[in-house]
Copies of this chain bind each other. A is one copy, B any other.
Amino acid sequence: MDAEQFRRLGHALVDWIAEYRENVESRAVMSPVRPGEIRARFPREPPEHGGAAGDVIARLEADVLPGITHWNHPGFFAYFPSITSYASILGDLACAGLGVQGMSWQTSPAATEVEEVVMDWLRQMVGLSDAWTGVIHDTASTATLVALICARERTSGFAETGLQRPGGALTVYGSTDAHSSIEKATVLAGFGRAHLRLIPTDAARAMRADALAGAIERDRAAGLVPCAIVATTGSTNTTAFDPIDAIAAVAERNAMWLHVDGAMAGTAMILPECRALWHGIERADSLVFNPHKWMGAGFDLSAYYCRDPQHLIRVMGTNPAVLRTAQDGQVSNFRDWHIQLGRRFRALKLWFYLLDQGVSGIRARLRRDLANAQWLARQVEAEPGWQIVAPVALQTVCLRHAPAGLDEPALSAHNLAIGRRINDAGRAYLTPSMLDGRQILRVSIGAERTEREHVAALWDALRAAAAER
């Protein structure tokens, strides 16, 4: 492809994206294809000869679009908001166009320094003190793994022997409502699933600090070595908030690492009125939240903050001859701040997005979503037979249709059926989930185009789907 074809196709693709975005509401939110249907549209063998790039947009439309579930559809209420704003798309385009590696400062100084700038802006935006230093990771799962590895190395005294050392086993703590990435990171970091303690939650689904302290005490008495606590700021299922301050006191008393997982909800801290929800955050060792979720920078852009970057570098750093540069010691080489060596210039999309929206623009949108969630919760509570099944702290509403006369297995089946009817109908997409062993319906509000009318339409659809039984 030469520059001329790139310009022509690039313009057409930009137009196609705008057209797709503007008309996304006309499509079914969840892709209706069956397993294997998309794969069958492609040849089994790679193209021997090139020159077919001129067809890509037509092929995207014909062969790929039917297999797309539209995360930026205003009827998207599943999982979490994963907003890829127009400004962020342009930032990603600039990143791809420059095509540089930011592994070391010298390999593109702007990639390191613009990241330092926007990560410090973001720190200020969520109200963290300047004791925190940030770096872009890809996902919260990875960042939590890094935090647990840092905790492991601190507790084991930078053991050359890793976890293969004499003495009691190291243990990790999270709540029963913690994200699945906590268990995954515990396994991947080598602690072993048997050394993860899931602490019970209170009525608001927040980790009980007293139960945490008790579990740690019992483990110590048994000769184990309590190492790390992962507190959750906005749980995946219900956006429950663990009491960071009380948990931090337990961590400090036991010289344990405290990592805070605020993957989706960290963005809420851009609103000063939400910051009480993570009171005590300054006492944590590390935290992660995802601008690529509700904030509006496209995936992937996860913000990892820590209080001791030198510790992070000691754990993650390598210094082979081929990577040494004249500026080492004066600059940050971000390859030593995470698992990967190579790194994209992801800061560009966050920068573009902040220039486009400003802090005030983001705040206004977040407040819109919080108000929509409260509105939906009020409708549900006012409707006979319907229940709100968890506190609505932010933009996620967990609800259930529980008409009289059905026993529990039947109620679960009924709610799962409601969810599938909604998703199959194509106007909205939500996540059927489980809470305390019961099927519930989880409505996560916050796609960029989701206005009150879309939430109201979902509420109508829910009642209609419930009446179908």
Q: Is the CB of A164 within 8 A of B14?
A: no
Instruction: Give Cα A361–Cα B358 distance, bound, in whole angstroms.
Output: 45
Instruction: Give Cα A274–Cα B360 distance, bound, in whole angstroms.
Output: 57
Q: How many copies does the complex hold?
A: 2
What's the tally of chain A residues with a CB closer than 8 Å to chain B? Answer: 158
Q: Is the CB of A93 within 8 A of B191?
A: no
Residues on B with C-beta less than 8 A from A39 are 113-114, 116-117
Contact flags A49-89 to B (C-beta < 8 A → 1, else 0): 11111011001100111111111100000110011111111
Q: Is the CB of B190 within 8 A of A68?
A: no
Given A9-B90, A92-B92, A357-B50: A161 and B100 interface contact (C-beta under 8 Å): no
Q: Is the CB of A94 within 8 A of B60?
A: yes
**Which of the candidate stretches A134-142, A206-214, A452-460 sits at the interface with the other chain?**
A134-142
CB distance from A303 to the nearest CB of B (A): 13
Instruction: Give Cα A111–Cα B31 distance, bound, in whole angstroms.
Output: 11
Contact of A79 among B5, B60, B93, B107 (CB under 8 A): B107
**Which of the candidate stretches A16-24, A377-385, A387-395 sits at the interface with the other chain?**
A16-24
Residues on B with C-beta less than 8 A from A48 are 358-360
Instruction: Give Cα A163–Cα B2 distance, bound, in whole angstroms.
Output: 53
CB distance from A183 to the nearest CB of B (A): 6
Residues on B with C-beta less than 8 A from A105 are 35
Closest to A293 in B: B342
Q: Is the CB of B6 within 8 A of A108?
A: no
**Which of the candidate stretches A250-258, A275-283, A325-333, A401-409 sits at the interface with the other chain?**
A325-333
Asked if A249 is at the interface of the complex by the 8 Å CB criterion, the answer is no
Contact of A18 among B3, B36, B357 (CB under 8 A): B3
Asked if A420 is at the interface of the complex by the 8 Å CB criterion, the answer is yes
Instruction: Give Cα A92–Cα B387 distance, bound, in whole angstroms.
Output: 43
Instruction: Give Cα A110–Cα B298 distance, bound, in whole angstroms.
Output: 19
Closest to A164 in B: B169
Which residues of A in the span 1-48 have a Cβ within 8 Å of any Cβ on B?
1-3, 5-7, 9-11, 13-18, 20-22, 30-31, 33, 35-39, 42, 44-48
Given A11-B11, A164-B169, A190-B164: A323 and B180 interface contact (C-beta under 8 Å): yes
Instruction: Give Cα A184–Cα B313 distance, bound, in whole angstroms.
Output: 12
Given A49-B358, A96-B92, A114-B38: A30 and B106 interface contact (C-beta under 8 Å): yes
Residues on B with C-beta less than 8 A from A330 are 35
Asked if A181 is at the interface of the complex by the 8 Å CB criterion, the answer is yes
Q: Is the CB of A99 within 8 A of B89?
A: yes
Q: In this complex, which of A169, A190, A355 has the most chain B Cβ atoms within 10 angstroms of its Cβ?
A: A190
List 5 A-B pairs, minimum CB-CB distance, nearest first: A67-B110, A84-B99, A190-B190, A162-B192, A10-B14
Can you give 30 A-B contacts (C-beta < 8 A)? Answer: A2-B86, A6-B86, A10-B10, A13-B97, A21-B97, A31-B110, A39-B116, A46-B359, A53-B87, A67-B114, A68-B108, A71-B99, A71-B101, A84-B97, A92-B95, A92-B96, A93-B96, A139-B340, A149-B188, A149-B190, A159-B192, A162-B163, A163-B164, A180-B341, A181-B341, A184-B316, A187-B315, A236-B320, A299-B342, A321-B433
Apart from A2-B86, A38-B113, A326-B420: 5 A-B pairs, beta carbons within 8 A: A9-B90, A84-B99, A139-B342, A180-B341, A188-B316
